[in-house]
Structure 1
């Protein structure tokens, strides 16, 4: 589909959203999400919309287009930069080549735990990364959770790096993630998410890596019965607004957007924690062998060449140090 046609379709969808909700609000902001309806990020933006409507006395509302209705993440990012889409909820990964600062929280083992990630992203470092979106026609509003990603496979329990040697793992289509798996002694196979189940089932790959809810809802646990909580990636998700849309708002409306976005974060985290707990219980009850007690130190030490390759400027090196120093 060419860009002109895509833009036209997005504009039509956006116009439809305004028509549906115009009677309730003076202006409806169009927000995109690749996740399905009911997913924690989708519900968090809906909650933000309710708070925004209340704060602005009905002047501003939000319509969430879930399930990639407005395009996959690469397309939705471009449309948000152009102002066709007003808001976008995206993983930080797709921004790595656009906003250099987003590479740092995407690094393997940069966060010691989900709690550590919260402390970093809720503080001055997180705000610094949000501010870095502005020169790219976007306004960073808030960070959501994407869970911690761990390895699972069909062959054997992974209790050390030696168990990874020679195994083939699907990774997201990212050079950094390919290099991460290679540094651990395994073979990385970039592959679209929808192809993973059959690839494991037929032996094209041995496994993949993801969080509890994705491992559950994808059905991957049915064909990959070994799951190891190494938590190599704890990559946040981000909610951004088009700079074009932002500049069209009054200072009071901009503040209401920022306040509502921040207030939606605990809503999202609460929903995420519940979904994660449900998925974990379901998987453990299914008979999957879960390895929870693992020494991460050798895994972390193996990431030095990855950091050397991607953390090149003094600014990024300083950010890594500050994150590691955060309690």
Structure 2
């Protein structure tokens, strides 16, 4: 009996060594994935993607994920992926980095997760297709997106219910020119001023009263503690948050077709997974904020939101910022109107399903 037990024990040991050796064999491709912000929920989606790439590539690709700016801030990480020392990163396509980047998130277009699923879908969404071309211009391949939901306005001075409530506020802005032009128009004539400050410095800037407020969203109010320094939040829903997960294009182009298929499959699943967890979490973020003493959420009616939208004068902003790049990229195709028509169609389709 002892000999039989010993025999099977030896067999199991040999099997374990064989399986273990195969499971932990060195991957053909070992990549780094940089995340320059502190966003715990999004990190779950990025880790999901890394795991799926390993699974679908049969272990031939292994990705090590670095969250919370461990490999550098936003612009440092961007340039590292661009030149190839890092394989993958999640970025905001600011126009000083990506000339066509303003199309990723023009205000008063996408308003909710259902619209985002269609407009940003890696499986042919209009904004995904345009941003794919924009990123390729600067040496990247787009994999998928992460959306944290709609933007509102947080500030430390007063509730904002009308454009007149922007009076004399100093608000932080970024290099997202569509956002900047939109906010400037909405606050025109109120004495509001705008100051460019890196997102990573935003909390301290509001805490020190360098600025009175900023555009922000439910996750950042909680995870990045904006609610502590800006206790009035107007749920304006004037723009949609979307960062792009991209990789070095030369690296992408060098992959065999079967590995491109594996990465693309993982990316499509990660895109939907992130939408699901972000949408589910939004209710929790709101519930958390509603419990914070001294924090006020200002919810607007459709009619009140329309006043801000009208004052934004978005058609002129599209003509100024988007049309020149689109005409150069897609000559003679009238892409500004093509995009706007498709976004209108998506809005109507989603609205009809909710009736």
Query: For the superposition of Structure 1 and Structure 2, which TM-score range results when normalised by the shorter chain?
Result: 0.7 to 0.9
Q: Is the 8 A contact 1:173 1:191 kept in 2?
A: no
Aligned partner (choices 296, 304, 307) of residue 298 of structure 1: 307
Instruction: Kindly tell me the number of residue pairs found equivalent between the two proteins.
Output: 304
Q: Is the 8 A contact 2:33 2:66 kept in 1?
A: yes
Distance in 2 separating the partners of 1:87 and 1:198: 29
Distance in 1 separating the partners of 2:337 and 2:99: 12
Q: CA deviation at 1:183?
A: 0.8
Distance in 1 separating the partners of 2:181 and 2:86: 33
Q: CA deviation at 1:85?
A: 1.2
Equivalent residue for 1:4?
Answer: none
Equivalent residue for 1:147?
Answer: 149
Distance in 1 separating the partners of 2:64 and 2:271: 18
Q: Tell me the SS of whatever aligns to 1:84.
A: coil
Q: Tell me the SS of whatever aligns to 1:126.
A: helix
Say if 1:235 and 1:169 are closer, same or farther in 2 by CA, change over 3 A.
same
Runs of at least 5 residues in structure 2 that lack an aligned partner in the other structure: 1-22, 325-333, 350-355
Q: Which moved more, 1:167-176 or 1:241-250?
A: 167-176
Distance in 2 separating the partners of 1:240 and 1:290: 34
Say if 1:74 and 1:317 are closer, same or farther in 2 by CA, change over 3 A.
farther
TM-score by length of 2: 0.77
Q: CA deviation at 1:198?
A: 4.5
Equivalent residue for 1:286?
Answer: 292
Aligned partner (choices 176, 187, 193) of residue 187 of structure 1: 193
Q: CA deviation at 1:248?
A: 2.3
Partner deviation per Cα, 1:37-62 (whole Å, 9 max, x = no partner)? x7233221221121121212211111
Confirm whether residue 109 of structure 1 aligns to residue 108 of structure 2.
yes
Cα RMSD, aligned residues only: 2.4
Q: Which has the larger radius of gyration?
A: 2
Superposed, 1:131-170 pairs within 5 Å as 131-132=132-133, 133-170=135-172
Runs of at least 5 residues in structure 1 that lack an aligned partner in the other structure: 1-20
TM-score by length of 1: 0.84
Superposed, 1:52-63 pairs within 5 Å as 52-63=53-64
Distance in 2 separating the partners of 1:61 and 1:76: 19
Q: Is the 8 A contact 2:111 2:239 kept in 1?
A: no
